[in-house]
Amino acid sequence: MTEHCKAIIFDLDGTLVDSMWVWPEIDKAYLGQFGITPPYGMEEELEGLSFTETAAYFKERFNISDSIEAIKDTWNKMAWEFYTEHITLKDGAYEFLKQTYKKGLRMGIATSNSIELVSVILERLAIKDYFHSIRTSCEVEKGKPYPYIYLKVAEDLEVEPEECLVFEDIPNGVIAAKRAGMQVWAINDHQKDDVKKKLREIADRFIYDYQEAINYFYVK
């Protein structure tokens, strides 16, 4: 696999940065304004949807009068403090990015988050310059598990899908990358046990942190 790897593509939330814990809190606070408690299983229904698709889901399911753009704007404002002050890189991620950049592999990001939050977190963590392509699922036809976001980033990186290695933390993300014809490594996050089990089944490899990736790629 590594012989043919010319590019590495990362999901962002839960994969490169430790941020997935933020969104259930935002969902709870946002719906609480309307006297609504987030229903059981909603997180699974939202898995992999783009920021725009998620806003459309909320508008329709909970009969929100605000426009989709207004919902997205509200979420950006609610998440802003987390992304500008509290969210950190996953263990070993910075060293892995440095080593990969030094090796000359092209890197990209394929995320379901908003471009506003993506931009601020990459700038704050000083890692934006490592990436040759940064795309959100709002820029393609459909979010994950459809392959469009990964194919778009591969096109930007000027590589074939089979030359890409993807890092993901959710099943629909893994499925999206596999449908694009890419190799996929799943990474440990705050997933439930049944989700970890599924990731081990559908991904090419499951790792607990980027030190494992460093050891695999760069430690002789």
CATH number for 187 = 3.40.50.1000
Domain boundary among 70, 86, 102: 86
Task: Compute how many other C-beta atoms are within 10 angstroms of the C-beta atom of residue 25.
Answer: 12
The answer to whether residues 27 and 128 belong to one domain is: no
Decide if pLDDT at 2 tops 60. no
User: What whole-number distance in Å separates Cα of residue 180 and Cα of residue 188?
Assistant: 22
Reported as half-sphere exposure (CB side, CA atoms, 13 A), residue 159 has a value of: 24
Average pLDDT, stretch 25-54? 94
The answer to whether residues 12 and 42 belong to one domain is: no
Average pLDDT, stretch 100-127? 96
The answer to whether residues 55 and 160 belong to one domain is: no
The per-residue pLDDT for 154 is 98
Decide if pLDDT at 24 tops 80. yes
The per-residue pLDDT for 219 is 82
Task: Answer positive or negative: Cα dihedral of 30, 33, 39, 40.
Answer: positive
User: What whole-number distance in Å separates Cα of residue 191 and Cα of residue 63?
Assistant: 29
User: What whole-number distance in Å separates Cα of residue 220 and Cα of residue 215?
Assistant: 8
Domain containing 31 equals 22-86
The answer to whether residues 106 and 194 belong to one domain is: yes
Total domains in the fold of the chain? 2
The answer to whether residues 167 and 133 belong to one domain is: yes
The answer to whether residues 124 and 33 belong to one domain is: no
The answer to whether residues 100 and 154 belong to one domain is: yes
The answer to whether residues 66 and 30 belong to one domain is: yes
The answer to whether residues 81 and 105 belong to one domain is: no
User: What whole-number distance in Å separates Cα of residue 214 and Cα of residue 113?
Assistant: 26
The answer to whether residues 136 and 53 belong to one domain is: no
Domain boundary among 63, 86, 109: 86
Domain boundary among 60, 86, 112: 86
The answer to whether residues 13 and 78 belong to one domain is: no
Which residues are bridge partners to 10 per DSSP? 109, 167
- What 3-state DSSP class applies to 183? strand
CB 51 within 8 A of CB 58: no
> Residues in the chain, how many?
220
User: What whole-number distance in Å separates Cα of residue 98 and Cα of residue 177?
Assistant: 23
The answer to whether residues 96 and 170 belong to one domain is: yes
Average pLDDT, stretch 87-116? 96
CB 116 within 8 A of CB 76: yes
Which residues are bridge partners to 136 per DSSP? 111
Average pLDDT, stretch 62-79? 96
Q: Classify residue 13 by its DSSP letter.
A: B
CB 125 within 8 A of CB 84: no
Tens digits of per-residue pLDDT, 146-188?
A: 999 999 999 999 999 999 999 999 999 999 999 999 999 999 9
